[in-house]
A and B are shown apart, each in its own frame.
Chain A
Amino acid sequence: MSKTPKISNEPFWWALFGAGGVVSALFIPVLIVIFGLAIPLGWVEAPDYQSMRVLLASPVTRLLLFGIITLCLFHWAHRFRFTLYDGLQLKHLESLILVLTYGSAMVAVIFAGIAIWTL
């Protein structure tokens, strides 16, 4: 053990994982049911383009959507990182996995930001 303990950034990533866990558990199932099953299978009618645009363009929706997307991505990054460590015994590839998980989450967040901002 080293004498000067390093401050770990693990709690920060864990907090994002936790917040993303809550948000995804609450929002994602209903979104999959609506966009993935109910609309394509014709159980309900798809929102028409104009109302969809108005809905997405409202500041509240933009903020909410950006928050949901960001938290979901960091939830995945953290959890998938440990799935690779434990499930596939890849702890020795730690730095590569850190870049692939948190890195791709960050890239996707940037894309989300641009898409939502330029809507």
Chain B
Amino acid sequence: MAPTSRNTSNRSGRLVQRVPIFWWIKKWNYTKFILRELSSVAVAAYAVVLIFLVHAVSGGPAEYQEFMELFQRPFWIGLNVVALAFVLLHSVTWFNLAPKAMVIRVGNWIVPPKFIVAANYAAWIVVSAAVAWILLEP
């Protein structure tokens, strides 16, 4: 049995079918999965942005000013919109899956998944409001 060009043998010598690289593009559900997984790129990018913000503040008022003005360019506004879309996808999918990752028991009672999801969204609102208030209070 000769392997075809689409197939490849694995280490044990058995013939395995090779998955095409863009297997996830054909079905929306798979594409959504890959988009969700790619949200981590936006998360890391923002961690880097925070490092640059700290660095700019270290550098003095002029550098801080420069940093803030950079984000006014249309290119950066666009990038931030894309990043926001990705992290929102991350937050929503993460909170919705939270009950699957943690099952909380109080005595014999298992906290219903809906409560856990609601608690996560509540925490999201509280954290967002607190961060906005601390950063923007006059």
Measuring CB to CB, which residues of chain A are less than 8 angstroms from any residue of chain B?
18, 20-22, 24-37, 39-41, 44-47, 49, 52-53, 55-56, 65, 68-69, 72-73, 75-77, 79-80, 82-83, 86-89, 105, 108, 111-112, 115-116, 118-119
Asked if B132 is at the interface of the complex by the 8 Å CB criterion, the answer is yes
Interface centre among A49, A65, A82 (most CB of B within 10 A): A49
Cβ-neighbour of B64 out of A33, A36, A52 (below 8 A): A52
Give bound CA distance, A36 to B64, whole Å.
Answer: 15
- Main secondary structure, interface of A, reads helix
Q: Are B87 and A24 in contact, with the CB atoms below 8 A?
A: yes
Contacts of B49 in A (CB 8 A): 35
Cβ-neighbour of B58 out of A25, A47, A118 (below 8 A): A118
Interface centre among A36, A47, A52 (most CB of B within 10 A): A36
Interface string of B119-137 (1 = CB under 8 A from A): 0000110011001101110
Q: Are A30 and B132 in contact, with the CB atoms below 8 A?
A: yes
Contacts of A27 in B (CB 8 A): 127, 131
Instruction: Give the Cβ gap from A42 to chain B, nearest Cβ, in Å.
Output: 9
Instruction: Give the Cβ gap from A20 to chain B, nearest Cβ, in Å.
Output: 7
Contacts of B136 in A (CB 8 A): 34, 44-45, 47
Q: Are B57 and A53 in contact, with the CB atoms below 8 A?
A: yes
Q: Are B68 and A46 in contact, with the CB atoms below 8 A?
A: yes
Task: Pick 14 A–B contacts, CB within 8 A, sort by A.
Answer: A29-B87, A32-B83, A36-B80, A40-B68, A40-B76, A55-B135, A72-B43, A76-B43, A77-B44, A80-B37, A80-B40, A83-B34, A86-B37, A89-B21
Q: Are B38 and A83 in contact, with the CB atoms below 8 A?
A: yes
Beyond contacts A35-B71, A65-B54: 12 other A-B pairs, Cβ-Cβ < 8 A, are A24-B90, A28-B90, A31-B131, A32-B84, A40-B80, A56-B57, A72-B46, A83-B38, A89-B18, A89-B19, A108-B51, A119-B58
